[in-house]
Structure 1
């Protein structure tokens, strides 16, 4: 059992290290995109920016789940959604930039589906992104960095890109609870 536990910890660590290395190689692109983010956020009226959303208008959203419903600490209550990482590797993170919404497999950044972004708005506790066929509604859960995702419109069915109910800003994902995969035999 200890070997399984250490194997799971090792695999999880490698996934996070791999993601961090990929993040470093994307630094130049991110720096260039940050100018677009700055100019886009300047166009939002003052009433739209006077809200509690800490998520930038454009950014990366990482899937999480409720792991300890009794905890009052948000970082222990929610955690990384490991069922899709340990067993199926089928979770989607959501990457939004000025022109597109990308559903990206959390295990493989090259496995993605891209949709043209029609509009966005950031008002109160809601962030809305629309495409030709869907509306993505992110509702901030009070006093947390957690967003509840709702999608209206045509159903999305992309292989290995399962969407979940809760997401958070990818920049703070390491602060959330991590739990092992149990008796995973794969």
Structure 2
């Protein structure tokens, strides 16, 4: 973690692959050097924003989430992340996950702004579940990621819509 932000993330089934990465981190290696030392897929690129510009941090997080979803072997989760990213009103917000549920904040800084939506993806069969916050009561169940995203957009508070409209850099 750096500035309360996750810098690297990866998965391995062989714990013997970790010491090289941990040693590099402890000795101050760059993220590129740590990535090269890892013998497993290590995601970096998150928050490698030199000036910590919030719009660039948000764009960086979206890129990381898209890659993470692509690697997750979970088609419904991938569809959710891709559908959310395709929506300009959501793409301007900072996306974050907790327990694989997708939520949004108007700032990339922790603590995040109050939740207005949290979307759970089904595994295999089932529905997307929309809640106000991660473990809150279910508000809606829908069958597609597109439906879930439409509900999420409808739940964006007016003050977040105004804030995000002032930040057109995220429209790309």
Superposition TM-score, scaled by structure 1 size: 0.29
Which protein is richer in strand relative to its size? Answer: 1
Which protein is richer in helix relative to its size? Answer: 2
Instruction: Choose between structure 1 and 2 for higher RCO, CA contacts under 8 A separated by at least 6 residues.
Output: 1
